[in-house]
Structure 1
């Protein structure tokens, strides 16, 4: 008999009808599901590192790599006189201080008289002719940044990061 088998179970004959391919397809589907679940679980543990403490460190690293948001502090206009060629000249500058830490901005706001004093002293020592060049302005900006952080008593990493001239007039 094609498609039927006789089984003898303890003397009783039982006929079992075979379905062509039904069991084979079910086994293939089950194996595929098990392989996919195992692969997914393996990928999860591999990518997560398996340890929750390491996972927390990875999250902290991502937070530290987030772009920093600059904070700006507007300074009042600075007017300084210089001696150049026997004549009195003037330097007028409007600046913005930039930091990434709110604490640095708060301290700079509180210590603004000390910052202004340090900058007036620095600006009054400059060579008027040098300030007409881009290089002279860049050097003054770098020196001003050092003077500001020194007057705040902060390391550059914790203090003011940049100084921007918004207006710079030589007269």
Structure 2
């Protein structure tokens, strides 16, 4: 009997805008993210702990370098870093943390 797979739930997060790590000229990054999970309880936990999650996501985004993000590999690395950060924070809060992916709905660098 094949294993049963729960359908993924998509949950869009509010947009975030940060200054990228120091350098001239000033660079900005704006992202809108969607997380995917098979567990609705993860969505509830994300909403409940959004101030903590948003704080750490902003810190992670602000530490990025424009040149690295301007490559497909850099974007993939950032997506995985965001996923790991969210999972780590949810585990620390003793919440369900099965986040399968973080997707970019919007990624604008200027």
Range of TM-score over shorter length: 0.7 to 0.9
Unaligned runs of 5+ residues in structure 2 are: none
1:21-170 aligned at under 5 Å gives the runs: 65-153=3-91, 158-170=97-109
The Cα shift of 1:84 comes to 4.8
The Cα shift of 1:158 comes to 4.2
Does the 8 A contact of 1:82 with 1:128 survive in 2? Answer: yes
Cα distance in structure 1, aligned partners of 2:64 and 2:14: 20
Count of aligned pairs: 108
Cα distance in structure 2, aligned partners of 1:84 and 1:95: 24
Does the 8 A contact of 2:21 with 2:64 survive in 1? Answer: no
Does the 8 A contact of 2:10 with 2:36 survive in 1? Answer: yes
User: What's the RMSD between the two structures over aligned residues?
Assistant: 2.0
User: TM-score of the superposition, structure 1-length normalised?
Assistant: 0.58
Residues 123-161 of structure 1: CA deviation (Å, up to 9, x unaligned)? 111111110000000000010001111111169x94211
The Cα shift of 1:87 comes to 2.4
Cα distance in structure 2, aligned partners of 1:102 and 1:71: 7
Cα distance in structure 2, aligned partners of 1:67 and 1:146: 22
Which 4+ stretches in 1 moved above 2 angstroms? 83-87
From the two aligned structures, give the one with the greater helix fraction: 1
User: TM-score of the superposition, structure 2-length normalised?
Assistant: 0.88
Structure having greater relative contact order (Cα 8 Å, sep ≥ 6): 2
The Cα shift of 1:86 comes to 2.3
